[in-house]
Amino acid sequence: MDKTLTARRTSHRARLLGALLALAFIAGVSGPAALARGKPLDWKPTEQGMLRVDDHPVSEWNLYEAGKKDNRLLLEMNGRFLLVDVGARVIFEVDPSKIEHKGANLRWDPDDRPDKPMETTGWIVKDVGSSYRFSARLVAENHVLDVQIPHPLDLRSIVPRRY
């Protein structure tokens, strides 16, 4: 019985060692790729948003989102691009030469941003009924960005009644 138990332990160790070696090989092969930048995302313009800087409207600006459930927004203002991560409450300045224009959309990898965000204070993030609002002060420039984005219509509550 001791030989059987020893054989089982050896077999189990051999399988475990094989699995660990396979995992190490896969990590070694895909490791550099995993450390590389992600793939670019398509950023689509939002509609009917409002931007104010220091309580004044901005004449030329656009706001782009990569997806409805993504908290990151790409703000274009007078040829300048800011990546705003509302969930993390950080803002990064993005090099415009790294952003590809595709008609009304943009193509850009959000991992291709500076390592250090801009210094910000006074974040306000809230739902104001028909829209989401966020506001933050850019410390180095002493400007306050205030953005409102309309909610998508939720038509689930409008259910036809059957009489």
CA distance 15 to 9: 10
Kindly state whether residue 49 falls inside one of the protein's structural domains: yes
Residues 124 and 45 placed together within one structural domain of the fold: yes
Looking at residue 30, its pLDDT comes to 36
Tokens of 1: 């019985």
Residues 45 and 31 placed together within one structural domain of the fold: no
Looking at residue 2, its pLDDT comes to 56
**Cα dihedral 134, 56, 93, 107 sign:** positive
Residues 17 and 58 placed together within one structural domain of the fold: no
Tokens of 128: 């104001």
Residues 78 and 142 placed together within one structural domain of the fold: yes
This prediction has a pTM of: 0.69
Tokens of 103: 């008609």
Kindly state whether residue 155 falls inside one of the protein's structural domains: no
Residues 54 and 124 placed together within one structural domain of the fold: yes
Predicted confidence (pLDDT) per residue in 50-82, tens digit: 999 999 998 889 999 988 777 899 999 988 999
Residues 52 and 123 placed together within one structural domain of the fold: yes
Looking at residue 24, its pLDDT comes to 43
- The number of distinct structural domains making up the chain is 2
Looking at residue 151, its pLDDT comes to 77
Q: Which domain holds residue 137?
A: 41-150
Kindly state whether residue 156 falls inside one of the protein's structural domains: no
pLDDT-above-70 percentage for the chain: 70
Looking at residue 68, its pLDDT comes to 73
Spatial CA neighbour of 138 closest among 92, 79, 100 = 92
Predicted confidence (pLDDT) per residue in 7-42, tens digit: 455 554 545 444 434 434 443 433 333 334 578 999
Looking at residue 49, its pLDDT comes to 86
Residues 101 and 123 placed together within one structural domain of the fold: yes
Phi, psi of 28 (to 5 degrees): -70, -35
Spatial CA neighbour of 86 closest among 127, 38, 115 = 127
Residues 142 and 78 placed together within one structural domain of the fold: yes
60 touches 78 (CB < 8 A): yes
Kindly state whether residue 56 falls inside one of the protein's structural domains: yes
Residues 75 and 107 placed together within one structural domain of the fold: yes
Residues 8 and 56 placed together within one structural domain of the fold: no
Distances (CA, A) of 104 to 40, 52, 85, 116, 127: 16, 22, 22, 29, 27
b/e code 17-46 from CB counts within 10 Å (16+ = b): eeeeeeeeeeeeeeeeeeeeeeebbebeee
Residues 124 and 80 placed together within one structural domain of the fold: yes
Kindly state whether residue 124 falls inside one of the protein's structural domains: yes
**149 has a pLDDT exceeding 80:** yes
**44 has a pLDDT exceeding 90:** yes
Residues 31 and 45 placed together within one structural domain of the fold: no
CA distance 79 to 155: 37
